[in-house]
Amino acid sequence: MKMSDMLMDDFQPKEVENTDYKYLIMKYLKFWYLYLIGVVFCFGLAYAYFQYATPEYPVGATILINSSKGSDFSQNAVYSELETYQSVKTVENEAEVLKSVSLMAEAIRDLDLNVSYYVKDNVFRDKEIFGAQVPIQVDIDRYDSAAFFDKDLLTKFKVHVVDSVNFRLENEEEKFSNHQFGEKLAFPFGELSIERVQDMDYPSTIIINFNNPYAIPGRYSSKLDVMIVNKLASVLRLSFTDPVPQKGMLVMNNLIEAYNREAMLNKNQTAKNTIEFINNQLDSVTTELRQIESEAEKYKQENKITELSSDALQYAESFNQGKEQLADYSIQLDVLTSIENYLMNQQDNYQAVPSSLNIEDQTLMTNISQFNELQRDRERMLRTIQPGSPLILEKDQQLSSMRRNILENIKNIKSSVEIARDNLLARTTEVEIQSGKVPEIERELLEINRQQAIKQDHYQYLVKKREEASMSLAATTVSNSRIIDPAMAGSKPTKPNKMLILGFAFFLGFGGPLGLVFIYYQLNTQIKIKRDVTSKTNISILGEVSHHDEKVPIAISKGVRTPVAEQFRLIRTNLQFALPNKDKKVILVTSSSSGEGKTFFSLNLGVSMSLADKKVVVLEFDLRKPLLLEYLGMTSDTGISDFLQNESLTISDLVVKNEKLPANLDLIGCGTLPDDPSELMLLPKVGYFIDKLQEIYDVIIIDSAPVGQVADAFSLSKFSDITTYIMRYNYTTSDTISFINENKKEKKLKNPVIVLNDAKAKLSYGYDYYQKGDIKKKKRAVYKEMAKKA
C-alpha cells in the first residue's frame, strides 16, 4: 500500500460495504453490562420462583380400551333377535369421557380430600403431607359445601401443637384460640374435631386447609392429560402432576375404576330397558289370557260341554291349520303396535327401542339398530356436553329423523300383515259357512279356544325372551378397559421445570436488554461511530477530530502533540493528496445544521495549514449567523458583505489579525449582516472576490452556512476545489448521509469529503499513542528535576 493511501484514510471512493458481522457484534457488546445485569436479575427471579413454587411429581398410568365384541350384551347370541346393534367405541370418545369432571367427582368420592395438611417447607412455601405423614387427623361430622361460595370464608388454619393433649388454633386473620384434641369445633362450613395420631413426632405447626368439594374434581380434571399412545392402537396414557405422589396414585387408580364401572353400567342399560319392556308386555298378555280362560270356563259351565262332536273336530282341524299362522300375524301386529306406541310416546327424551322381537323385516331391524346407536352416542355425549350444544342438537335431529323412518316402516309392515291376516280370515269364514250344520255352541267354543291359543303362544314367547335377556345381562361382566401399567409416580418433580425456567430466564435476561439496545439503535439515528457513515455512503472520510474540552478554540499550534492537533495534521496531509496539482486551494466547509463544529474546524484547519508555511485566509462566509470572529472574542465592522456591496473597499480593508494565530493566517469577517444573503451570494463580485484572494493566499477556507438549512453553500461550491462536510458524533443524524449522497449525485457540491467531529477519546486515531508519549515525557521531566535537586 502506498503511503498516500494510508494518510488519506481510505480517501479513494469505494463501494458501500456489506454487513460487517464483527462490527454488529461489537456494536451490541458495547452494552455488555446491561446483558450481565439482566441475566443475573432474571436468574435471581428464577431462584426465588424455585423457592416459592411447590414441586409437583408426575403420576401416570396406561390402559387399553376394549374395542372387541367380546361378551357385550349387544353381541350375545341369545339376544340377537331382540337387538342387532353393535357397540361402537372410539379412543377419542373414551379420552373425553376420562377427562370429564363428573367422572373425576365419582373417582374421588371415596377419598378424603376435603382437608389438606401442610407443614412449613421454607420461608416462601408450605409442603403438603398425606396419609401416614399426617401427625393429626381432622374428623368431619358435618360439612356444608354451600358455605364455600362465600368469598370471605376463612378456610386455612394453623394448628400449633402444645403437647399431646392441647393445641392452639390460628386462623388467617392471626386470631388464636386454645383447644384440646377431640374437642368439637364449630365452623361456618361444618362441625369437626381434631384428633392426635399416636406414636408420631409432631412438628411445631401443622397447617390445615378445608377444600371446596365442588372445586376438587375440576382441579384434577384440568390437570389430567389423556394421550393416545398410537393411532393404530386403542391405548391411552393418563398423566397429571401432584405435590403428593401417594395421593396422585390413589386418584389415578380410582379414576380408572370409576371409568370401568360407569362404562359397564352404560353398556347394560339397553338390556335393562328391554327386560322392562318385556315385563310390561307380559303383564298385558297375562291379563288378556286370564280373561279368555275365564270366558271359556264360564261358557262350558253354562252349556255343559265336555267334548266336541266329530264334525266340530273336523272343522276344528281346519281351523287349527291356520291357527299358528293367525297367531304369528297377531303377535307381529301386537309387537309392531307396541313399538309404534313406544316411539310415539317419546318426545325429546329419546330412549332405546327395546326389541324388534320376531319381526323378520331387515329394513326395520337395521333402522332400529341405527336408532339405538344414535341414542347411546347421545347419552355418552351428555356426560361432557350441555344439552343445548350444537353436537347434541345434531344428534336430536338424527334421532327424530330415524324415528320417523321407523314409524313409516312399521306402518308399511302392519299394512302387509293385515292384508295377509284378512285373506286368512276370509278363508276361515268360508270354513265357518260350511260348518252351518255345526251347533252354534261348538262354533263359539272353537272361537274362544282359538283366542286362548293365540294369547298362550304370545305369553310363552315373551317369557322365553325375558329369561334369555336376564341370562345375557348376568353374563356381561367384562370391563371396558384393561390396565397395562397401573398408576405410578415419578421420584423427581417435573414442576417447576428448572431447565426450562432457567433457559427462559437466560433468554429473557439476555434478550430483554438486547431488545432494548436494538430499539435504542433503531430510534436513535444519531451517528455513533465511523462505521455508521461508511456503511451508507462511498464518499471518502477525510479524517476524524476528537472532542476538544479546552476553552481556547485553537487546538493546534507549533510543537503541540495532542490527539486533536495530530488529527488536524493528518487532515492537512490528506487534503494535499486530495488536490495534488493545486498550489492554490479553495476549501469550502459546510454541514447539515448548526452546532456540528464547522467554525471550529475551519479555524483549526487554517492554523494547521499556516504551520506548513502556507499563507492562509479563513472567510466568515456565514452571512446569517457568523461565529468565527466571535469565537475568538473579536469584532469587525467591515467584512465580506460590505465588500460585495461597496465598490470602494479593498481586500486589505477586510483582513483581521489575531495575535494568538500564526502571522501568515488572516481572517475576514462577515461584516454587516445583509437582509438578502442568498441574493448577495449570486453577485458576480463573489467570483471576483475569490479570484483576488487566490492571488494573495495559498489556501482559502470558506466557513459557509449549513447546507442542510439554506442554499448558500451551493452558490459558493463552484468557487471551491473541495467541499468539506462536517458531521458530529452523537449529534448529526444518519438521514443526513442520504442528503449528502443525493447532493453528490446531482453534483451540487464540488468534490465532497466528510470530516467526523467530536470523536470520543477511544475512537480517536493515535490518542493512546500520543497520550502515552506525553506521560513518558512528563515522567522524564520529573526524573530530571529530581536528579537536579539531588
Contacts (Cβ under 8 Å, ≥6 apart) of 522: none
Report the C-alpha gap between 289 and 285 in whole angstroms.
6
User: What residue spans of 204-244 are helical by DSSP H?
Assistant: 215-223
Give 711's DSSP letter.
S
Retrieve residue 433's grid coordinates: 259357512
**Quick one: which of 380, 373, 352 has its CA closest to 276?**
352
DSSP string, 506-543: HHHHHHHHHHHHHHHHHH--B--STHHHHTT--S-EEE
pTM of the model: 0.57
Instruction: Tell me the three cell numbers of residue 28.
Output: 451490541
Strand order in the sheet with 235-242: 225-228, 235-242, 57-65, 481-489
CB-CB contact of 189 with 155 (8 Å): yes
Residue range 294-311: average pLDDT? 64
What average pLDDT does range 617-641 have in this prediction? 88
Residue linked to cell 430466564: 505
Tens-place pLDDT, residues 702-744:
999 898 778 888 888 888 999 999 999 888 888 888 888 888 8
Q: Does residue 243 have a cis bond before it (omega within 30 degrees)?
A: no
User: What amino acid is encoded at 172 in this protein?
Assistant: E
Which ranges in 3-89 belong to alpha helices (H)?
A: 3-7, 21-29, 32-52
DSSP 745-778: HHT-SSSEEEEEEEE-GGGSTTHHHHHHHHHHHH
Angle in degrees, CA 699, 703, 706, rounded to 5: 145
Rounded CA gap, 599 and 759, in Å?
16
pLDDT at 783 (0 to 100)? 42
pLDDT bin (cut points 50, 70, 90) of residue 246 is: very high
| pLDDT band with cut points at 50, 70 and 90 for residue 476 | low
Q: How far is it, in rounded angstroms, from Cα 454 to Cα 326?
A: 8
Q: How confident is the model at residue 763 (pLDDT cuts 50, 70, 90)?
A: very low
Among residues 108, 348, 380, which one has the least CA distance to residue 247?
108
| Helix/strand/coil for 340 | helix
Q: Which three cell numbers stand for residue 635?
A: 469584532
At which residue does the C-alpha cell 274362544 appear? 448
User: Tens digit of pLDDT for each residue in 20-78?
Assistant: 677 778 878 888 999 999 999 999 999 999 999 999 999 999 999 876 544 455 544 44
Q: How big, in percent rounded to 5, are the helix, strand and coil portions of the chain? A: 50, 15, 35
Residue from 612, 358, 615, 574 nearest 468 by CA: 358
Residue 527 corresponds to which cell in the numbers above?
451517528
**How many whole angstroms separate alpha carbon 327 and alpha carbon 379?**
38
Query: Closest Cα partner for 432 from 543, 311, 585, 577?
Result: 311
The pLDDT of residue 575 is 87
Distance CA 533, CA 732 (A): 11
Could you tell me which of 153, 135, 133, 134 has the C-alpha nearest to residue 143?
A: 153
Residue tagged 364401572 (cell numbers) = 261
User: pLDDT band at residue 431, thresholds of 50, 70 and 90?
Assistant: low
Pairing of strands 699-703, 585-591: parallel
pLDDT category, 203, cuts 50, 70, 90? low
The cell for 566 is 495530530
Identify the residue with better confidence: 220 or 358: 220
For residue 743, which of 704, 719, 701, 711 has the smallest C-alpha distance?
A: 711
610: buried, middle or exposed (CB in 10 Å: 19+, 13-18, 0-12)?
buried
What pLDDT is attached to residue 477? 56
Nearest to 214 by CA among 70, 76, 109: 109
Q: How confident is the model at residue 200 (pLDDT cuts 50, 70, 90)?
A: low
CB 544 within 8 A of CB 724: no
Q: What percentage of the chain has pLDDT greater than the value 70?
A: 81
Indicate the pLDDT class of residue 293, thresholds 50, 70 and 90. Answer: confident
Whole-angstrom CA distances from 544 to 570, 604, 732, 758, 764 are 9, 13, 14, 8, 7
Mean pLDDT of 454-467: 82
78 DSSP assignment:
G
Judged by DSSP in three states, 237 sits in strand
Q: Identify the bridge partners of residue 62 per DSSP, sorted by sequence position.
A: 237, 485
Residues with Cβ within 8 Å of residue 633, at least 6 apart in sequence: none
Q: Are the beta carbons of 603 and 590 closer than 8 angstroms?
A: no
Q: How far is CA 715 from CA 588, 623, 679, 687, 711, in A?
A: 11, 13, 10, 10, 7
What is the fold of 536-785? Rossmann fold (3.40.50)
Angle in degrees, CA 579, 581, 587, rounded to 5: 35
Tell me what the mean pLDDT of segment 542-546 comes to. Answer: 90
Exposure of 386 by Cβ count < 10 A (0-12 exposed, 13-18 middle, 19+ buried)? exposed
pLDDT surpassing 60 at residue 192: yes
Are 728 and 596 spatial neighbours (Cβ–Cβ below 8 Å)?
yes
DSSP alpha helix (H) spans, 153-305: 215-223, 245-303
Q: Could you tell me the CA-to-CA distances from 384 to 199, 221, 391, 679 in Å, in that order?
A: 46, 12, 11, 88
> Confidence band (pLDDT; 50, 70, 90) for 778?
very low
313, containing H or E segment = helix 310-321
Torsional sign, CA 257, 259, 263, 266: positive
Based on C-alpha coordinates, what's the Rg of the chain?
54
Cell of 577: 493528496
Instruction: Give the start-to-end residue ranges of the domains of the chain.
Output: 17-53+496-523, 59-261, 273-483, 536-785
